[in-house]
Amino acid sequence: MIVFSLEAHVELSADECGSSAHKDPSSSGPRPTSSFTQSPAARQPTSLEQLEEEEAKDSFDVDVSVTSPEKIGDGMNAYVAYKVSTRTSLNMFRSKTFFVRRRFSDFLGLYEKLSVKQSLHGCIVPPPPEKSVVGMTKVKVGMDDPSSVEFVERRRAALERYLQRVVSHPSLLQDPDVREFLEREDLPRAVNTQALSGAGFLKMINKASDAVNKMTIKMNESDTWFEDKFQEVENEEQQLRKLHAVVDSLVNHRKELCMNTAVFAKSMAMLGNSEDNTALSRALSQLAEVEDKMEQLHQEQAASDFFIFAELLADYIRMLGAVRGCFDQRMRAWQRWQEAQSTLQKKREAEAKLLWANKPDKLQQAKEEITEWEARVTQYERDFDRIGMTVRKEVLRFEKEKAKDFKSQIIKYLESMLQSEQRWFPEWLGYWALGIGKGKPCCVTTSDNSAHIVFQDT
């Protein structure tokens, strides 16, 4: 056994590590200028400072996990059921720990319900992972081959992250559909999930954008926060797509490396067999063994590349699409308000005309319509302001989550690389030691620029 210790030459700071105190400068913009009466039901804070305080109070009272994929049924009607387990301290749930079985279309159904309701309020609803006909067909045929295993694992992990994002969102957690999803034993099957394939989701987002682009009246923003932020979001999405493409390439190259290393190891073993000098033959065979172990390490690294890094990027590309979506919702709300205002204007003009034409009963109707539309205008203006507030709050929250997520995932990624390196080192050390005729190394300590190795007495 090799004991490997590395002395770090860094003074580890005793401070608590945390970066949540950093304020993103662009988010501390001016206070919302529109006035509205605070309805008792809505907990809308009036300032962004209050907003941050509220966020800090949120603690994670709900913990969900998605595990144990199981193939149910056979042939083309087969599907995979996942175990969704919840652990919570909140009283609104039926107990502290419980679990249910859900299939992929159930998750899509949840998303559909949430997006219909919540996006109207400007909420960023986390999007679920994409459908994959190819992937599922393979699984239906047989769940045992490596590509099916990888597909199911990828989906399971993505579904877990999806649910975790949903329950960590304070408003979504309160939604009865979410509770039902987590708790209810017999969930009615979701229909109409065709729209929610990867392509379908994108289509939905783009349709909303198109509607916004077709708007003839240009919005005059006194507060440039929304415009600037939207531009930022678009840019970021672009950057992430580029990065994701390269990470994808990294994943593929790493997989190739695995294959090439395995093939090379076999070739080395054969060369070792051909070699007639016994010592050299042994050396070559041992090299083949070391390379075999390297292949395993490369496999693990490939998994890290993919599950930690690539999927993180893929998730956030989808999330940024959702963020764009809620900006578009706000524009629609503005559009509704503007349209109502112009309708009101038309009604007033019509009333004026009727006044002049002296038709009393029609005049009464016109007056009623004016009242109705005045109320609508007020309502839509309120809605617009409220959506603006929500969008702002949501984006702030999203950015915080994103920063935390990226930081923790990238650290995890680098750590996984570090771990595999630490296993790489003893393999080569052992090989080298055997090559120079020493027994197995039994203790290695390194410091600064040198390493001290103690060998077993042969």
Q: Which burial class, exposed, middle or buried, applies to 166 when counting CB atoms under 10 A from its CB (0-12, 13-18, 19+)?
A: buried
Question: Is residue 183 a contact point for other proteins (CB under 8 A)?
Answer: no
Q: Tell me how far, at minimum, the Cβ of 367 lies from other proteins, in Å.
A: 54
Question: Is residue 250 a contact point for other proteins (CB under 8 A)?
Answer: yes
Applying CB under 8 A, the span of 43-51, 87-95, 269-277, 370-378 interacting with other proteins comes to 269-277
Question: Is residue 283 a contact point for other proteins (CB under 8 A)?
Answer: yes
Alpha-carbon gap, residue 287 to 2, rounded angstroms: 19
Applying CB under 8 A, the span of 64-72, 96-104, 259-267, 381-389 interacting with other proteins comes to 259-267
Alpha-carbon gap, residue 170 to 114, rounded angstroms: 13
Question: Is residue 263 a contact point for other proteins (CB under 8 A)?
Answer: yes
- Judged by CB under 8 A, the chain residues 3 through 22 that form the site for other proteins are 6, 8-10, 12-13, 15, 17, 19, 22
The residue (of 39 and 456) whose beta carbon lies closer to other proteins is 456
Question: Is residue 449 a contact point for other proteins (CB under 8 A)?
Answer: yes
Alpha-carbon gap, residue 290 to 288, rounded angstroms: 5
Q: Which residue from 274, 109, 103 is spatially nearest to 192, judged by alpha carbons? A: 109
Tokens of residue 13, six digits: 């700071």
- Judged by CB under 8 A, the chain residues 287 through 346 that form the site for other proteins are 287
Q: 3-state DSSP call for residue 302?
A: helix
Alpha-carbon gap, residue 38 to 46, rounded angstroms: 9
Distance in Å from the first CA to the final CA of the chain: 15
Number of residues that bind other proteins (CB under 8 A): 75
The residue within the footprint of other proteins, chosen from 90, 280, 355, 375 (CB under 8 A), is 280
According to DSSP, the β-strands at 3-6 and 441-447 are parallel
Given a contact cutoff of 8 angstroms between Cβ atoms, the answer to whether 321 and 201 are in contact is yes
The residue within the footprint of other proteins, chosen from 195, 219, 246, 355 (CB under 8 A), is 246
Q: Tell me how far, at minimum, the Cβ of 436 lies from other proteins, in Å.
A: 6
Q: Tell me how far, at minimum, the Cβ of 433 lies from other proteins, in Å.
A: 9
Long-range contacts of 8-12 (CB under 8 A, 24+ apart): 9/448
Per-residue interface string for the shown chain with other proteins, residues 100-119, x marking contact by CB under 8 A:
--------------------
Tokens of residue 229, six digits: 């932020």
The residue (of 359 and 407) whose beta carbon lies closer to other proteins is 407
Cβ contacts of 96 within 8 Å, gap of 6 or more: 87, 88, 89
Alpha-carbon gap, residue 308 to 161, rounded angstroms: 12
Q: Tell me how far, at minimum, the Cβ of 444 lies from other proteins, in Å.
A: 9
Given a contact cutoff of 8 angstroms between Cβ atoms, the answer to whether 316 and 402 are in contact is yes
The residue (of 56 and 133) whose beta carbon lies closer to other proteins is 56
Alpha-carbon gap, residue 14 to 1, rounded angstroms: 33
Applying CB under 8 A, the span of 77-85, 141-149, 338-346, 419-427 interacting with other proteins comes to 419-427
Alpha-carbon gap, residue 89 to 92, rounded angstroms: 9
Given a contact cutoff of 8 angstroms between Cβ atoms, the answer to whether 413 and 308 are in contact is yes
The residue (of 318 and 386) whose beta carbon lies closer to other proteins is 318
- Judged by CB under 8 A, the chain residues 364 through 403 that form the site for other proteins are 402-403
Given a contact cutoff of 8 angstroms between Cβ atoms, the answer to whether 204 and 130 are in contact is no
- Judged by CB under 8 A, the chain residues 66 through 95 that form the site for other proteins are none
Question: Is residue 241 a contact point for other proteins (CB under 8 A)?
Answer: no
Applying CB under 8 A, the span of 45-53, 65-73, 270-278, 322-330 interacting with other proteins comes to 270-278
Strand partners, 86: 64, 98
78 secondary structure, DSSP code: -
Q: Tell me how far, at minimum, the Cβ of 259 lies from other proteins, in Å.
A: 8
- Judged by CB under 8 A, the chain residues 219 through 238 that form the site for other proteins are 232, 235-236
23 in the Ramachandran plot: left (φ > 0), alpha (ψ -120 to 50) or beta? beta
Question: Is residue 454 a contact point for other proteins (CB under 8 A)?
Answer: yes
The residue within the footprint of other proteins, chosen from 3, 199, 355, 414 (CB under 8 A), is 414
Applying CB under 8 A, the span of 31-39, 111-119, 258-266, 379-387 interacting with other proteins comes to 258-266
The residue (of 17 and 134) whose beta carbon lies closer to other proteins is 17
Question: Is residue 458 a contact point for other proteins (CB under 8 A)?
Answer: yes
Q: How many CB atoms lie within 10 A of CB 29?
A: 15
Q: 3-state DSSP call for residue 91?
A: coil
The residue (of 37 and 277) whose beta carbon lies closer to other proteins is 277
The residue within the footprint of other proteins, chosen from 240, 333, 387, 395 (CB under 8 A), is 240
The residue (of 280 and 375) whose beta carbon lies closer to other proteins is 280
